[in-house]
């Protein structure tokens, strides 16, 4: 009986995680991959920096989307996992000569461990919503303070990495290497989310997001699956931190542990569509150019770039409460409804 009820709940939530792609979507996805793949041969280094940041933010947003979009556990502290990945790989490289390709796994393990600690402390006491968001934010701030006051972590001065143009230490002679690495990261996590939606675990995530109490009542181990979502999201987010450190070659607590990193993960999801596969990518493609535009063209007016950026975001959230994909879905349904209405009128006339 319990199994039947659980299966019923999964079926009812399947629509939220529907991953079937239409032909236009497949064409658009392939075109986007080709565009990003060939972009190093089309644009200057300045434009490539924007493209790299779009892909980096898209990956970071997908990591947040895994836990907060699919499982419904809103986090405002993903900067903690991002910073752990950045510091772990950078320290191992600068202090012990261990390649970031190996350090990336150490960062993932540490971030997963911290994620598990946060999960146990939060989910055992059934913290959710704003309370869980505050807990994650508090951990990010704690790590920022600790990093600033720990000599082994180089305190407030941070860690600077020598540029060697050697791919074996995750450094490339041109920006093409960074573009392709970031693109592979985005493709990998997007494919993972597409596959996740088709699995029982993915359906459990969505069921918890839609109604956690009902999911628990029907036999889903909500603690277990929330922990899995949090740990997976934390581990994957740390990869973004390692990539950032090797691309910019300098990190410090005020760069990698600040709330701005968490905001970078959240805003693309909200703008593109929370809990969707492609929403965070679309959101990153929109928000990052806007951010770049305001930083460059309004830099002469103190604070105006941030004010303009904020106003654009507020308007976008009000006008697009379900994101760009939500608007597209709504328009598609209206068009389909109109077509069906026209067909029914024609049938009546023929009769």
pLDDT score at 20: 58
Query: Which CATH number fits the domain 2-258, given the four candidates 1.20.50, 2.10.260, 3.40.50, 1.10.3470?
Result: 1.10.3470
Instruction: Kindly report the pTM of this predicted structure.
Output: 0.89
pLDDT in tens, the chain (351 residues): 445 444 544 454 444 445 456 677 788 889 999 999 999 999 988 899 999 999 999 999 999 999 999 999 999 999 999 999 999 999 999 999 999 999 999 999 999 999 999 999 999 988 888 899 999 999 999 999 999 999 999 998 999 999 988 899 999 989 999 999 999 999 999 999 999 999 999 999 999 999 999 999 989 999 999 999 999 999 999 999 999 999 999 999 999 999 889 989 998 998 888 989 999 999 999 989 988 888 777 777 777 767 776 787 787 778 877 778 777 766 666 776 776 666 666 666 665
29 CB contacts (<8 Å, ≥6 apart)?
21, 278
- Whether 89 and 107 have beta carbons less than 8 Å apart is answered as yes
308 CB contacts (<8 Å, ≥6 apart)?
294, 298
Sign, CA dihedral 64-201-196-102, equals: positive
């Amino acid at each position: 009986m319990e199994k039947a009820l659980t299966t019923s709940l999964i079926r009812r939530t399947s629509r939220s995680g529907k991953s079937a792609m239409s032909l236009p979507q497949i064409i658009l996805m392939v075109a986007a991959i080709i565009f990003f793949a060939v972009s190093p041969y089309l644009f200057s280094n300045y434009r490539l920096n924007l493209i790299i940041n779009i892909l980096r933010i898209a990956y970071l947003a997908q990591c947040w989307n895994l836990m907060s979009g699919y499982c419904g556990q809103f986090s405002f502290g993903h900067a903690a996992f991002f910073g752990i990945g950045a510091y772990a790989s950078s320290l191992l490289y600068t202090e012990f000569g261990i390649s970031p390709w190996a350090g990336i796994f150490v960062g993932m393990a540490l971030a997963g461990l911290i994620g598990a600690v946060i999960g146990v402390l939060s989910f055992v006491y059934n913290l959710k919503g704003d309370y869980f968001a505050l807990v994650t934010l508090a951990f990010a701030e704690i790590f920022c303070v600790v990093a600033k006051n720990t000599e082994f972590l180089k305190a407030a001065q941070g860690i600077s990495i020598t540029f060697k143009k050697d791919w074996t230490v995750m450094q490339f002679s041109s920006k093409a290497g960074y573009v392709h690495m970031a693109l592979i990261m985005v493709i990998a996590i997007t494919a993972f989310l597409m596959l996740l939606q088709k699995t029982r675990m993915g359906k459990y995530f969505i069921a918890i997001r839609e109604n956690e109490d009902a999911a628990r009542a029907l036999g889903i181990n909500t603690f277990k699956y929330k922990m899995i979502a949090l740990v997976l999201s934390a581990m994957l987010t740390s990869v973004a931190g390692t990539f950032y450190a090797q691309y910019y070659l300098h990190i410090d607590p005020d760069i990698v542990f600040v709330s701005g990193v968490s905001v970078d993960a959240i805003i693309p999801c909200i703008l593109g569509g929370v809990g969707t596969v492609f929403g965070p990518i679309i959101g990153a493609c929109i928000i990052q150019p806007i951010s770049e535009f305001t930083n460059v063209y309004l830099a002469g007016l103190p604070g105006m770039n941030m004010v303009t950026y904020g106003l654009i975001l507020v308007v976008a959230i009000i006008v697009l409460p379900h994101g760009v994909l939500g608007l597209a879905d709504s328009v598609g349904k209206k068009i389909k409804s109109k077509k069906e209405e026209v067909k029914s009128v024609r049938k009546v006339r023929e009769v």
